[in-house]
Amino acid sequence: MEKQKIRIGVVGIGHLGNYHLQKYAKLENAQIVAVVDPVAEKAAKAAALYNCSVLASHLDMPGKVDAVSIAVPTGQHYLVARDLLAGGIDVLIEKPICSTLKEADELIALARKNKLILQVGFVERFNPAVMALGKVIQKPMFIEAHRLHPFFERGTDVDVILDLMIHDLDIILKFVNSPLAGVEAVGIPVLSQKIDISNVRLTFATGCVANITASRISAKTMQKIRFFGIEGYHSVDCQKREILSLGKRKSETGQVDIFQNQVEVGSHDPLEEEIRSFLHSVVNRTDPEACGEEARKSLALAIDIIQKMKTAEVV
């Protein structure tokens, strides 16, 4: 007997929305049935490509779909997700979860009340190199992260902290797993009206310090995060999906030797794995990997960082 397919909808057929459609189309347990976009040509093109319906609004989705990817601008996340969750639909929403903590809290509460899946698109959690990091990392004490991109108009509706840095904030909060003790931040707008380049220094209760740089005005792309701990050193290249992990041990003479950990790294596509994980939660009614509560933590930190930058500008 053939397993029943999950009826999928996608709201927002832009850069990310098209990628979501591509990945859903690859998965046997997914059936794309509806798309929504304010630009009629985009919706029509996607509908023709994936043999699905165009709906006038996301409000028309309840009863027609089981799960939806939301890939609209950040300022629209809350309204779209709220309506879909209220309509009984499981939701995968692109990061950040919302623009404000109040909005995030309402979505989390609504998903909990209606017993629905609320997953947030922290795709780097599904990067093979980041997943491999979990096999070797123990207690990080110093972290250096660089996420540098050339300038594109897409994403400039928010500061670079919510656009790019939030990926590293999410990863760092996950692996340090300690209360924050301090936040220092600087950042400036360069090519847009929002902050385009920023540097942040986080200190944690464990004594761990993280230095994070994010820029969308770089001449080249770099997505690296390095973890230093008592057990060794781990360098993750998110762009190349590679990890270099070094450990230490005492030799027979008592000297400390450095050796390279042999870490198996998968070859899967991160977004496809993220969507596969979402559908697994939908089918099995299990908590998603990047749930609303965890997304709220990174959003709260991002908002604190932006506020500190704006306060510094005033001074």
265-274 mean pLDDT: 97
Block residue for tokens 């976009």: 37
Quick count: other Cβ atoms within 10 Å of Cβ 285?
A: 10
Instruction: Write out the H or E segment, with its range, that includes residue 309.
Output: helix 292-314
Distance in angstroms (rounded) separating the CA atoms of residues 273 and 127: 8
Residue 188 has pLDDT above 50, yes or no: yes
Question: 108, 116, 65, 64: which is closest to 90 by C-alpha?
Answer: 116
Show me where the domains of the chain are located.
Answer: 6-116, 125-266+301-314
* Tokens at 207, concatenated: 């004594």
In contact, 7 and 31? CB cutoff 8 Å: yes
Ramachandran category for residue 88: left, alpha or beta (phi over 0 → left; psi -120 to 50 → alpha) = left
Quick count: other Cβ atoms within 10 Å of Cβ 236?
A: 27
* Tokens at 308, concatenated: 């500190």
Share of the chain above pLDDT 90, in %: 88
Beta strands in the chain (DSSP E): 6-11, 30-36, 53-54, 67-70, 90-94, 118-121, 140-148, 180-188, 197-204, 209-215, 222-229, 232-237, 242-250, 256-260
Q: What is the pLDDT confidence band of residue 310, given thresholds at 50, 70 and 90?
A: confident
Helix, strand and coil percent figures for the chain, each rounded to 5: 35, 30, 35
- Burial letters for 87-103: b for 16+ Cβ neighbours within 10 Å, e otherwise? bebbbbbbbbbbbeeeb
Pairing label, strands 197-204, 118-121: unpaired
pLDDT tens profile 127-179? 999 999 999 999 999 999 999 999 887 667 889 999 999 999 999 999 999 99
Distance in angstroms (rounded) separating the CA atoms of residues 52 and 13: 13
Distance in angstroms (rounded) separating the CA atoms of residues 185 and 106: 28
pLDDT tens profile 27-59? 999 999 999 999 999 999 999 999 999 999 999
CATH number of 125-266+301-314: 3.30.360.10
pLDDT tens profile 282-295? 999 999 999 999 99
Q: At what angle do helices 166-176 and 292-314 cross, to 10 degrees?
A: 120
Chain mean pLDDT for the chain: 94
Q: What phi, psi does 244 have (nearest 5°)?
A: -115, 120
Q: Looking at the domain 6-116, which fold is it? A: Rossmann fold (3.40.50)
Beta strands in 18-166 (DSSP E): 30-36, 53-54, 67-70, 90-94, 118-121, 140-148
Which residues pair with residue 210 across a beta bridge? 143, 202
55-83 mean pLDDT: 97
Which residues are within 8 A (CB) of 173 and not within 5 positions of it... i.e. 6 or more apart? 294, 297, 298, 301
